[in-house]
Each structure stands twice: as structure tokens, then as C-alpha cells.
Structure 1
């Protein structure tokens, strides 16, 4: 072990509902070496945890990565998901290869649009999804990866993986990049003093780091993260964004309450954290319950309406502000 190294501990449980504890325990103080430890009894984590570790590992030479031998009964999962392959280290874990169809999409590094197209094409049969179920998943993956291409500046591309959970009949997706982070991107066009402010700006419909124009441009409308958050909200699921030293997490809407889409992320039921270990790029996790029966086209229409109303409201507010100054 190096005297000063980054440290990540794989706990017995780290999903979007309780991921705050995992992130707070991450030590990012020494960016040239990494020490991975784990719970000895059991490890069960959201795909976003794997994407985060793999993305981090790509920035470090394999000889500077130390992973304690995994003893937990669930250790084979990490070998099957391709964590050690991407880290460039040996796990010492022997597994019998299984077809991944219907269960998971292993960690994948995507560096260009061609690879993204191939990934999405292969993803649907792997997850055995009906067309109505596949459409929102394809949209989410496409938007998140394109965000990495267009904004992150990461030379390692996007790292993502996904898992189907039969008990909850849901898909959980995690994507991470080791790029410049949301604040630096947003600050190209919008003032954000903190990482949390920048994340919230990125979640507002029509806000993008590529222009000061409300509603963005034809090429970049500032819609991606807002649409993905909205899909999660309509499905009453979790969604989180972690960048810099801050995290915004959409919390589940209770089944007894009507779902309303807000342009302002502060109006959503959510939690927010600052002062977290600094993540240089951006990490996004989302859960999508497959029991939701609405047609995706109808869902997109609903979100587009909220998007348009949000942009119009911000334009109106800016006009009033300019008029009465």
C-alpha cells in the first residue's frame, strides 16, 4: 500500500437510496494511486459504484492500484461485471462464464458515437426488454453518453454498466467520466459559484454550458439531464448527479402523491450534499422501474411540455428583470 493513496471501500450495501455514505467514505486526496478494500461478508452495490471505480481506475497506472483479495460470497459479481479487466489488474477470482442476457450489462468504455450505437444495439437483447421498456432505457443511455462526449473533455470516454433486478423489476444504470466536471462546463456560459449550483443549473431545462441563450441551441438544447430526471420522477425512482464536491439526488415520489414535473430542481423532493470528496468529472445514477405502463412517446410529450414551460418561465423572468432594473 502507498503511504498516500486514494481509498475506496466496497460496503455491504450501496444503492442510490443510501449512496451518500459510500461517497463520503471515498478518499480522493492522492490521485496517482488507489487502494480498494471491501466488506468481507457481503457486497451489494449499484452499477454506478462500479462505473465510478472503473472510471477512476482508468486515470491510474495498474501497478499503482491495490485491491485487497475479495472474500465476500458475492465477489464473483465484480469479476463478471468486468471491473478488474478495466482496472488492468488480476482479481484471482475464478468464474464460470455465464450469458449476461436478462441480468446485466458489464462495464463498458465508450469513446465515440459508433461505439455508442453498437452498445445500444447490443444492450436491448441483453436485457430482454419489450420495445415499450427499451425506449426509455435507450434514451437515457444515449443522452448520458452524449453528454460525456460533448461536455466532459475526458480522454477516457464514458464508463457505464447496468443491472436488471427481478425483485423490483427495475433497471439500474450507472455512468461516470473523469472529465472536467459540470461546474467548469456550465461556467462557460452561466455563473455558478459552487459545484451544487452548477449541478442544479444543468438540471434546469434549456440551460447548457454551450450558450447563454435560454433553450440552448439546435445542437444542444440543455434538455438531457432534465429529461432523465423527469423519466425517473414519473417512474417514482431515484436519480443522482455527483460532480466536484457536491451531489444532487432526486428522491422517490410516494405512490399516494401525484407526480408533477418542475423546471426548478429545488421544487422536486430531493437531497443535496456539499463538501463531499472531490470527483473531477461527473457521475450519474438512475433507477427505472419497468412496471410503468405509459407509452414512452406520451411520457416524452409530457416532459417536453414541462421543458417548454420552464424555458418560457425563465425567459419571462429575465425580461421582467431587465425591464425594471
Structure 2
């Protein structure tokens, strides 16, 4: 029996990032992470101190990034790291650490353009916050996007203002909506990060979140399960009041992801479902499965339930 081709152009039951990127670039493209020494507005006192309660930046910083090295050198070292595995490919410079727009524009431009000087770099992915971009910066990125691929990733984390306040984000959801609208109106690719499982949120909240973000001008989505990392405020909160936290089992989270996908706008490209911290920095939940194994579980469950991304979109 012939498999169904979905609106995103293939037989996978969700609009997956790997297929999208292969179609966009017609070759393998890999992100190379860069740490350019940025801070965050809720760390330096602009909106607060201490950063987000869940955040330990070391949990997602690759070993090849070195703050002491210039951007160009980090790009070169990252490319060498991946070229050991894959010979023919291109790369995106991924400004990943902390808030990678949190500096005056005249300081940002040389950093971004230094990364683009490498002949194998075909664009930039810039990780930031909704309250850390200006219209001037976005105008610059819009011009740059006419020459190379540009993606701005925004840490939204939740659609609920009470949750954003509890995690010390320093901005509300209205600011998140503004940031997505401002990038979209300039033709800049955007991406939203959202955490499922935050304290005082429940299944109804997360499914409503899927409906809300589906109405926004969003290109890409990164979901991940709540994790408790060492060296964070949330570690202390979890230690003192573990009953306030419901940490998913893999099976629970698979079901939630499938329910979420059913409600999600089929035009949104899904980049990931889970986050995977180093074992020595992770307190809970310890699933012991790799990202690709979790994706396989989601794909299996979508097929078992004969459902797909957007099946209930608009409901």
C-alpha cells in the first residue's frame, strides 16, 4: 500500500527539520556552535540577576567551543570536528551561548561577519531572547538574509506570564509575540524554544500552547522536556520541594508530544522534541535514551494512533 504524502512533501507524519533542511540546501548542513562571550539581560542587571532558574549554559555547550578563541578560530575548529565524520557538507555558524544579540549593533556586526568569512559557512543561526533584539538589529539581519541563510532562535519557554515570572525570564509572552512578528515581517527565519513540564503547568496548558503558537508567524519549533540540571536555581527548588515538579517518563512525554503535534500548525517545522544534557550535569529525569531513539518512539506512536502533525489543527 502506498504511503500518504503529507502537505510538507513527504511520508513522515510530522514536518521534520532534517527533511526541510535537505530540501532547502540540497546537501548536508551542520550547525557549528560558537561562544562569543555574551551575557543575558536577566544576568547583568538590565532586567534581573541570576539568569533563568533552569539554566546552566554548560549543558548545551559543545567541547570544541572555547571562549578564549576568536570567532573565526571557533568556526574552523568546529568544521574540523564535523569533517572527521562527514566529508561533503556545508555549515551554519550557530551563536548559541547565552543571549547572542546582547550587545550594541556595532559590536555584533563584526562577530557575525567574521563567522561568515569561512567559505563553507552558508549562514547564521543566532540564539537569543525576545527582549534582546532591536528593530535596528533586525533590519540589519533582514539585509543579510538576502545573501545568506539567517535563523533567529528565540527562547520563549512558556506562553504563560506567571511561568515566565517564576523562572526569572524578565519578559512576558507579549514580548515573545512581538519578536516573532518583527522577524516574520522582515522575512527572517525564526524559531521558538518551549519547555514542556514547567511547575504549575499541566497538560491543558501545554495543549493550549500548541494552539496559541500555531496562530503565530513561526517557522521552526524546538520543544524539550523539563530537566533539572546541576548548578541551577531549579536544582535547589527541586531538592527542597520535589512535589512541585512532575518529571515525565519517556512514555508520558511521547504521548504528550503526539497530542501536541496533532494541534500544531502543519507549516511549522519541528526541529526537536527533547533536550539531552551531559550525564554528569543532569539530576532528573534520567531516561537513558538518545535523541534519535526518542524520535523513533514518537514516529512509532504517530503511526500506531494513525495521526500526524496538524490533524486537529484549528480545533
Determine if the TM-score, normalized by the shorter chain, exceeds 0.5: no
Structure with higher RCO (Cα < 8 A, 6+ apart): 2
TM-score w.r.t. structure 1 length? 0.33
